[in-house]
Amino acid sequence: MAASILVTGGTGYIGSHTVVELQQSGHRVIIVDNLSNSNKSVLGGIAKITGTRPDFEQADCTDFKAMDALFAKYGDIKAVIHFAASKAVGESVEKPLLYYRNNLTSLINLLELMSKYGTEALVFSSSCTVYGQPDVLPVNEDAPIKPALSPYGNTKQISEEIITDSIKAGARYKASILRYFNPIGAHPSAEIGELPLGVPQNLIPYVTQTAAGLREMLSVFGNDYNTPDGSCIRDYIHVVDLAKAHVVALDRMLDGKSADKLEIFNLGTGKGLSVLEIVETFQRVTGVKLNYRIVGRRPGDIEQVWADPEKANKVLGWTARETVEETLLSAWRWQQKISS
Ligand code: UFG
């Protein structure tokens, strides 16, 4: 069987967009997902875009036996891109053990199996959350890791340490840790996009659902921050740009081009936008008026963070290309499709 890339969480939001980019650049993909926060119909969307339906296995990465059987079944898994994780910050505060179990056990299982089966490379989904509120903006990869504000954030920090320590201890695989800023938008085909379960916690799905009339009003969490318009600032990156970075990081390792066995990259645009700027831009590009009001701050929110993406730009030769206007439009086209 041809060598394959195992994508955990491949039916999820970032995972599905990455599977598309992998297939379009010639990689053979196996998705493993427990479908706890995604839907098998995503496979049809991927097939429509790429012409190929990826192999799919429903399994939980915390289940060592099931994952061992999967590695054995496919025989030649050349690399793993590990997206599968619980990701709701608020839920992680209420259910810390669930988060530690899901996010850490799955990673440890995968690393053990990668060693057992001689898998060459890992791409790991980390987050700018590891920087907390950085002292210097834009934030680069050498900035200090700040104490995590949530169990979710802590799982990303500990995961980075687990990968680092296993490589230090002589594991044979290479790893690329990707620290995402705020991924938004949907594939331009509108065949795949974000499918939040229940009430969205993140800004863009809340914006698009409000615009579509599914939510009454968007709450803007705070306008008394120390920022030009008082609302929080983030670095919003098109999910397709983010997905493409995974392919570049993966190929760099598989082609033997990485400088070190472990490399870390920020994935952002380098540009910070406030919540109110996002609201204004969304209204301008879609022509839809958003019902919103300013409410109090959301506990745990960081005031402002945006990336210094220079390392990824130079070393990976990757740059986030999409404008925020096009990115917001893609999110809106997707919302209109799923709510029609
Ligand atoms: N916001 C609102 N109203 C909403 C939702 C969000 O005003 O209904 C604001 C937030 O206060 C924040 C900004 O929009 O200022 C972005 O919030 P998101 O929830 O979309 O994103 P976060 O930056 O809070 O979180 C994201 C990921 C996390 C990750 C974190 C790292 O969702 O997984 O970035 O900073 F940990």
Tell me the residue type at 193.
Answer: G
pLDDT at 18: 98
Contact residues for 79 (Cβ-Cβ < 8 A; gap 6+): 5, 6, 119, 120, 121, 122, 123, 250, 253, 254
CA distance 256 to 76: 18
The distance between the two most distant Cα atoms of the chain, rounded to a whole number of Å, is: 58
* Catalytic choice (74, 99, 152, 180): 152
Chain segment 250-266, per-residue pLDDT in tens: 999 999 999 999 999 99
With the most atoms of ligand 1 within 8 angstroms of its CB, the residue from 128, 133, 203 to mutate is 203
Three-class SS of residue 70? helix
CB atoms within 10 A of CB 18: 29
φ, ψ (nearest 5 deg) of residue 266: -80, 135
Return the ligand 1 atom nearest residue 204 CA: 20
CA distances from residue 191 to 40, 173, 187, 328 in whole angstroms, order as listed? 13, 34, 7, 16
Ligand 1: lining residues by beta carbon, under 6 Å: 87, 89, 127-129, 153, 182, 201-203, 206, 218-221, 232, 234, 275, 298, 301-302
Report the candidate in 328, 186, 180 with the shortest Cα–Cα distance to residue 268.
Answer: 180
Three-class SS of residue 79? strand
Chain segment 189-198, per-residue pLDDT in tens: 999 999 998 9
Confidence of residue 3 (pLDDT cuts 50, 70, 90): confident
Ligand 1 centroid to Cα of residue 296, in Å, is 14
Taking 80 as the threshold, does the pLDDT of residue 288 lie above it? Answer: yes
pLDDT at 340: 83
Q: Is 152 an active-site residue?
A: yes
CB atoms within 10 A of CB 124: 25
Ligand 1 centroid to Cα of residue 185, in Å, is 14
User: What is the secondary structure of 198-247 as a DSSP string?
Assistant: SS--SHHHHHHHHHTTSSS-EEEE-S-SSSTTSS-EE-EEEHHHHHHHHH
Report the candidate in 121, 74, 114 with the shortest Cα–Cα distance to residue 247.
Answer: 121
Confidence of residue 324 (pLDDT cuts 50, 70, 90): very high
Q: Atom 36, ligand 1: which residue's CA is nearest?
A: 129
Three-class SS of residue 134? coil
Taking 90 as the threshold, does the pLDDT of residue 2 lie above it? Answer: no
Report the candidate in 335, 311, 300 with the shortest Cα–Cα distance to residue 152.
Answer: 300
User: What is the secondary structure of 96-128 as a DSSP string?
Assistant: HHHHHIIIIIHHHHHHHHHHHHT--EEEEEEEG
Paired with 157 in beta bridges are: none
Average pLDDT, the chain: 97
CA distance 279 to 189: 24
Q: What is the mean pLDDT of residues 120-146?
A: 97
Quick one: how many helices (H) and strands (E) in the chain? 12, 13
Look up tokens 């999967």; give the residue.
Answer: 70
Three-class SS of residue 41? coil
φ, ψ (nearest 5 deg) of residue 236: -90, 125
Contact residues for 45 (Cβ-Cβ < 8 A; gap 6+): 16, 187, 191, 192
CA distance 301 to 133: 9
Chain segment 19-75, per-residue pLDDT in tens: 999 999 999 999 999 999 999 999 999 999 999 999 999 999 999 999 999 999 999
Confidence of residue 228 (pLDDT cuts 50, 70, 90): very high
